[in-house]
Structure 1
Amino acid sequence: MIFREATRRDLPAVLALLADEVAVPDPASISVGEAHERAFAAIEADPRNELLVLTDEADPAGGSDAPGEVVLGCLQLTYIPGLGQNGKERALVEAVRIRADRRGSGLGAELMRLAVERARERGCGLVQLTSSKRRTAAHRFYERLGFARSHEGFKLHLEP
């Protein structure tokens, strides 16, 4: 397994993972819109954001169009500066996904272990995440990894 920063060529595979938690959509069937392109460019340009992928094979060229390479999982890490935690950054984990046909094989735990290690190496004092209340299996997964339910989360959706 290779854990690396995503490249633009990984975008269809990442969007496929985010699109369906039950099926395994073909990345070639995913439409990458202008908004996706802008968001990816912003993440790529921001030193406080990382889109990370777990793949099944090394790719010296750095992209998922290498023969045989498959993106098996992804997540986004955002590093947030703050005055709490003695001024240390906190890492926010978002958009964690493992391909539906590969769940239960330990890949999710490995992906999260690598993300936590990355945050630790950066000097973060805390790793945090939120998960939809409907994703009860994900909640059990995060608790098995040592994450504690410590806060209630609130969201306000802003319509254009």
Structure 2
Amino acid sequence: MIFREATRRDLPAVLALIDDDRAERAEVTEAHERAFAAIEADARNEVLVLADGDVLVGCLQLTYVPGLGRGGRERALVEAVRIRPDRRGGGLGAELMRLAVERARGRGCGLVQLTSNKRRDAAHRFYERLGFARSHEGFKLHLEP
């Protein structure tokens, strides 16, 4: 397994993972292209992948957020954690999260945080097994165009 930053070439496979699609590749729109270019250009954002040869088996996005709390140390926000459906249950998700936490620690972050949909009980148990605590209640406000 190789853990690395995603490249533009990975974008269709990353989108398929995010959509929880069993397909190897997903359609890349102009909006996806702009978003990926913005992530690549921003030192506080990265899409990370776990690859088995040429096949992406997992991905996540890390965003480093500056803050005044925790002594002014950054926090790492984890989003879009996905493992291919046909590769789940073998420890790849735990390894992907371990590597992401190590990356945040190496950057000097004081905290790693994430949100998970309230209906995803299995995901909640997974994060708790990794040492994450349910410490806050989250809120979202969807902004429609």
For Structure 1 versus Structure 2, the TM-score category normalised by the shorter chain is: over 0.9
Amino acid aligned to 1:17:
L
1:102 aligns to 2:93 (yes or no): no
User: How far apart are residue 26 of structure 1 and its match?
Assistant: 2.7
RMSD across aligned positions (CA): 0.7
Are 2:3 and 1:7 aligned?
Answer: no
Q: How big is the shift at 1:24?
A: 1.4
Q: Unpaired runs of 5+ in structure 1?
A: 58-68
Return the TM-score normalized by structure 2: 0.98
SS of corresponding position for 1:71:
strand
Structure 2 unaligned segments of length 5 or more: list them.
none
Q: Does 1:89 align with 2:74?
A: yes
2:129 is aligned, of 125, 128, 144, to 144
List per-residue Cα deviations over 1:125-153 (Å, max 9, x = no partner): 00000001111110000000000000000
Q: How far, CA to CA, are the matches of 2:35 and 2:119 in structure 1? A: 26
Amino acid at match of 1:10: D
Aligned length in residues: 145
TM-score of the two chains, using structure 1 as the length reference: 0.89
| Distance in structure 1 (CA, Å) of the matches to 2:71 and 2:62 | 20
Runs of 4+ in 1 over 6 A off after TM superposition: none
Aligned to 1:131, what secondary structure does the other structure show?
Answer: coil
Match status 1:33 vs 2:18: no
Percent of residue pairs bearing the same amino acid type:
82
